[in-house]
Structure 1
Amino acid sequence: MSTEQTTTGSDFSYELTRTLDAPVGRVWQAWTTPDQYARWAYAAPGSVEMDVRPGGAWKATMVTPDGGEAPLTGSFLEVAENRLLVVGMDVPGRPEPSRMTVKLDADGGRTRIALHQTCGTAEERAVSEQGSTMLLDSLTAFLAEGA
């Protein structure tokens, strides 16, 4: 596994990239199958619902490290199987959803994943980037288990 991190200061966006030791189809399934997603993405069991198609809705209840729960909702804005997910995440108090782009590139039996998000403030960026880093760490561990 390799990791790169880029934060751009002017527009509150960040991009995280990693090379994962799993084929692209396996990474896609982990990201788009509710039961698999719940196992690595800190979601409460049974809380994940996904309609993985453009315009399809998703929801999950995330469990925080202190045991709290945070319900999340949104929609899939773009979907290209095994290559691209653009996810809209509803943010209370904001008229437009936050957009997270997940790009997958096959590299032999490995996958290069690039996660990009633009946030509204520096504080939102810091929290989102920390959460995304935790997600990629957990995804890496999940894939290593071969589950």
Structure 2
Amino acid sequence: MSTEQSTAADRFPYTLTRTLDAPAAKVWRAWTTAEQYAQWAYAAPGSVEMDVRPGGAWKATMVTPDGGQFPLTGSYLEVDENRLLVVGMDVPGKPEPSVMTMELDEQDGHSARIVLRQTCDTAEERDMAEQGSTMLLDSLGAFLAEKPAG
């Protein structure tokens, strides 16, 4: 078995899919506009900065349910407006960023299917990332439901 196959086999992916009651453009704005992102993504007020373009940087300080705060940084690897966002997240002690892919697919002009994908190094990392992503999708859905169209 080659090292490449072994590495791929030893990775731990997850995929989450949801249909949101909002058009893709509205979902995209919620995910890529600092002011909106901060409202639903558990970010500390004023901590979100986004330069949404390939190679552009982002940062946010996330607030945990128990009130703890931790800073996150990274960059945008791929950007296809209203369709695809590939985000690199810096991980202390690791040479390569952790990569999350967010895909949007317009369903009927009124709803969008969102797919989040990430591959982690360990089952524990995957479980934590999947739990965090599930919380994000729950919060995003609630945010979109209460925000007027536009």
TM-score range normalised by the length of the shorter chain: over 0.9
Higher relative contact order (CA 8 A, sep 6+): 2
How many equivalent residue pairs?
A: 139
Name 1:140's counterpart in structure 2: 141
Name 2:57's counterpart in structure 1: 57
Q: Give the 5 Å matches for 1:105-120.
A: 105-108=105-108, 109-120=110-121
SS in 2 for 1:62: strand
Deviations 1:118-141 (A, max 9, x none): 111111001000000000000000
Task: Establish whether residue 85 from structure 1 lines up as the match of residue 62 from structure 2.
Answer: no
Structure 1: 5+ residue runs without aligned partners?
Answer: 1-8
Q: Give the 5 Å matches for 1:99-110.
A: 99-108=99-108, 109-110=110-111
Task: Establish whether residue 121 from structure 1 lines up as the match of residue 122 from structure 2.
Answer: yes
Name 2:30's counterpart in structure 1: 30
Of all paired residues, the percent bearing the same amino acid is 75
Aligned-pair CA distance for 1:10:
5.5
Aligned-pair CA distance for 1:146:
1.6
Aligned-pair CA distance for 1:11:
2.6
**Higher relative helix content:** 2
- AA paired with 1:133? T
State the distance in 1 between where 2:51 and 2:135 align.
Answer: 24
**Larger C-alpha radius of gyration, 1 or 2?**
2
Deviations 1:47-105 (A, max 9, x none): 00000000000000000000000100000000000000000000111100000000000
Q: CA RMSD in A?
A: 1.0
State the distance in 1 between where 2:40 and 2:88 align.
Answer: 20
8 Å Cα contact 2:10-2:121 kept in structure 1? no
**Higher relative strand content:** 1
Structure 2: 5+ residue runs without aligned partners?
Answer: 1-8
Q: Give the 5 Å matches for 1:16-27.
A: 16-27=16-27
- AA paired with 1:87? V
State the distance in 2 between where 1:28 and 1:69 align.
Answer: 25
Q: Please list every run of at least 4 consecutive aligned residues from structure 1 whose deviation after the TM superposition is greater than 3 angstroms.
A: none
State the distance in 1 between where 2:43 and 2:124 align.
Answer: 23
Name 1:6's counterpart in structure 2: none
